[in-house]
Chains A and B, each alone.
Chain A
């Protein structure tokens, strides 16, 4: 089932067109990787999907359907709640770990202490931080290591119970061990969530994704199962890109 359907999407910042006539569908509860060289529009694509693009001064034409309905027909808050996004650089709020995780639930009206505690506990377990930090919930989140911060941010996005999780190069600032942790976590999360991950790291895309989209200069060049894209690319440009990185 397609949770997102993108039809003839054009995105531009002022007069600069970043995404050109892109159409693709995102399947539910799968991991879709978006690859391509720097500046090709991968991140722009992600920020368009939950309308964060407007905060950055961009605009788009075309149609994006979330569960069969135009994303513009949803309340923007609701849409962003359903389609969470995590950025490249970990952005923990400079509060305690506990407060980071209760920030959004409190906004959505959850006041009950027990319920909040439960959310914090479940979230930490989900992102694999529970054993590491459940004793230090009052510690400043900014004092965590980079990998822990990123997992906390993913957890924070999960506290509002989204259906889709967009990740913009979530591991690019992390070392190998932390990257492995996060990859393992994403595989686990994909059972309950749809994940779209933008990555520079081709082997990462290969390791974790079910589908891969290759974007070049704002155009979707190839989109297929990860296996096909990596082992049997139809387009020469895809082949060159994949080879180029390996070679």
Chain B
């Protein structure tokens, strides 16, 4: 009897928790949708911010482009390093000590608060290397932020590849590099792309790392990687923080959320495709 009671209490508990999370997510989304949908139109999406103070009228086009570019640079920078690190750890590193050390460093990296990463990027990239507040400084800083995220997932994917299949490839006298590029990558490509996409979503929503490294209140669509840019999260922060326009802020938030939604849907589809292939 007691066990039965425990059982039902537990069931109610997990049921309630799940519905609570679900309700909160739906509520946030609907709330922003209802408040923001009104301000979304062609002009809002495709023109630059205008008015005095700037942002009170016009659109957010440079911020959309800026955010997408920041995301692309961050993903490119982080995934090259993350995939290489993962390959090294899984296929080349033979010393357990080195492996543990690298894992420790990556773990520490993932724990660094994003505003500190922002300050790091500001000191190193903006000041010392003289990149200034720019697309490249912001992209790299965001890249450092999402690096551990991609690395951990790619490493897990590589470890999960059936050892017997890899051995069969070596047994054909085929080199490690050929095995990596022609067997292991094709086997893992969906997982890797999905990891990068999700990390991209994480990067595009982050405000702290770009405040000091890339984002400015107003800039046109950037002409080079050394131009300062607008970014959606930072624009949102300015719109609400300075009380410029609540209506535009809701619109911006909705656009950001829709972009994230699309990114997540892509990732889900990729995961689904992978399962289909197996």
- Listed in ascending order, the chain A residues whose CB lies under 8 Å from chain B are 50, 52, 55, 76-82, 84-85, 87, 89, 91, 93-95, 103-104, 106-107, 140, 142, 153, 156-157, 159-160
Contact = CB atoms under 8 A, between A and B. Distances in A.
Given A93-B165, A94-B277, A95-B186, A107 B174 contact: yes
A81 B173 contact: yes
A55 B170 contact: yes
Closest 4 CB pairs of A and B: A81-B173, A80-B173, A104-B172, A77-B173
A76 B171 CA distance: 10
A4 to B, nearest CB: 17
Contacts of B278: 94, 142
- B: contact size bracket: 10 to 19
Given A79-B173, A94-B187, 8 more contacts: A80-B171, A87-B167, A91-B165, A93-B168, A94-B165, A103-B172, A107-B182, A153-B168
A50 B183 contact: no
B52 interface: no
B162 interface: yes
Interface in B142-179: 162, 164-165, 167-175, 178
A107 B175 contact: yes
Contact of A157 (B162, B164, B171): B171
A52 B172 CA distance: 10
Contacts of B183: 93, 103
B175 A55 contact: no
Interface of B is mostly: helix
Contacts, number: 65
A19 to B, nearest CB: 19
Interface of A is mostly: helix
B164 A80 contact: no
B171 A85 contact: yes
A156 B165 CA distance: 12
12 contacts: A50-B171, A78-B173, A80-B171, A84-B171, A87-B164, A87-B167, A87-B168, A91-B164, A93-B183, A95-B186, A104-B174, A160-B173
Contacts of B175: 77, 107
Given A91-B162, A93-B165, A94-B278, A52 B170 contact: yes
B165 to A, nearest CB: 5
B176 to A, nearest CB: 10
Nearest to A50: B171
B64 to A, nearest CB: 38
A201 B217 CA distance: 77
Contact of B172 (A55, A95, A157): A157
B192 to A, nearest CB: 15
Nearest to A166: B171
Interface in B182-231: 182-183, 186-187
A232 B167 CA distance: 39
Interface centre among B168, B170, B171, B277 (most CB of A within 10 A): B171
A223 B162 CA distance: 35
A153 B172 CA distance: 11
B174 A77 contact: yes
A142 B276 CA distance: 12
Contacts of A104: 172-174
B112 to A, nearest CB: 36
Nearest to B168: A91
Contact of A160 (B172, B182, B186, B187): B172
Contacts of B168: 87, 91, 93, 153, 156
Contacts of A107: 172, 174-175, 178, 182
Contacts of A76: 173
Contacts of B182: 103, 106-107
A126 B169 CA distance: 21
Nearest to A57: B94
A55 B167 contact: yes
Nearest to A89: B164
Contacts of A95: 186
Nearest to A156: B172
A85 B278 CA distance: 25
Nearest to A56: B167
Nearest to B162: A91
Contacts of B277: 94, 140
A85 B167 CA distance: 10
A84 B182 CA distance: 20
Nearest to A80: B173
Nearest to A54: B170
Contacts of B162: 91
B172 to A, nearest CB: 4
